[in-house]
Amino acid sequence: MWGILRQKVVAGGGSPLVRIRPAVSALRSYSSAAKEMTVRDALNSALDEEMSADPKVFLMGEEVGEYQGAYKITKGLLDKYGPDRVLDTPITEAGFTGIGVGAAYYGLKPVVEFMTFNFSMQAIDHIINSAAKSNYMSAGQINVPIVFRGPNGAAAGVGAQHSHCYAAWYSSCPGLKVLTPYSSEDARGLLKAAIRDPDPVVFLENELLYGESFPVSAEVLDSSFCLPIGKAKIEREGKDVTITAFSKMVGFSLKAADILAKEGISAEVINLRSIRPLDRATINASVRKTNRLVTVEEGFPQHGIGAEICTSVVEESFGYLDAPVERISGADVPMPYAANLERLAVPQVEDIVRAAKRACYRSMPMAAAA
């Protein structure tokens, strides 16, 4: 990184604080998909292509270089780009995050990896007070083009201190953009958009999705591919109930929709992709069509993403609702370590199915059953 700083790599030789125009992008789909790619490879290829295209992009974090990344997301990048652009850091999140923010002030484009977003708590002052607020506090004179990325939310058997979902935490802060990829298409297109964006982006991945494969089209594999920030994707169209989800819960919601279809309920599944900004227009348009809403998330229920979506729908589409909104979330407890309790603490496919049935008045309410 210091080698890059010495070179003062600034496009056109101008001030490094000039706002960098984000790449123009378009919403894509799985059309003409010809091959499959894991989420891990999608993230790796996006990093590789953006580093190749822009010498100001560099990576830093614990084990991102010599070890190839704790989850092998950065595999091969140290050999290709060298230690000036792939920096192994000490175990000091506050230290290397602060260095990354300072480099972004200078006009570079750091991608900071947290081994888990639980560890980002060590660096939250830099993320919120330094990165998120600087553009506003400088009256637009300072841009902070930095990406904070890593696994977020529950994995498996790692306990409360490694299982927290931070989507609601970071999405409550003005100045940040918060992205939550589900598929390989999401991972490639959204990470590219995040790196090209002139503002700080929190990029929340899921450890359990890294090894999953998804179909990708030639369009998605093109190096110019990029998804728009702030735009959700309708993964499955339906007419009876809207289900909103992000990250791993999109897959659970699609499985629930398959089960519901066998019982005559047509569910529309929305992959939020972007938590901040939130695509309220797509959500409300869907609710106005289906007249019912189920929100799904892994995080805690109080002040969650589902609560924000509920508020948006009540404010903008209340007259279209034919049933109370159903909100599915993680349990309001720190994540248990025991496998049986852990399963009870996070939403399952059957929870989504039951909620959708309640919204469609296809099952007896729990209070009535009691």
Active-site residue list: 93, 162
Strand partners, 294: 243, 326
CA 27 – CA 189 distance, rounded (Å): 9
β-pairing verdict for 274-276 and 177-179: antiparallel
**Intra-chain end-to-end CA distance of the chain, in Å:** 63
What are residue 241's DSSP bridge partners? 267
Give the separation between CA 262 and CA 271, rounded to whole angstroms: 22
- Which H or E run contains 235? strand 233-236
Distance between CA atoms of residues 156 and 224, nearest Å: 35
Instruction: Provide the b/e sequence for 76-104 (b: ≥16 CB within 10 Å).
Output: ebbeebeeebbbbbeeebeebbbbbbbbb
Q: How far apart are CA 25 and CA 195, in angstroms?
A: 13
Contacts of 155 (CB under 8 A, 6+ apart): 162, 163, 207, 208
Cα–Cα distance for residue pair 167/329, rounded to 1 Å:
12
CA distances (Å), origin 227, targets 25, 46, 297, 309 = 6, 12, 22, 22
The answer to whether the beta carbons of residues 71 and 46 sit under 8 Å apart is no
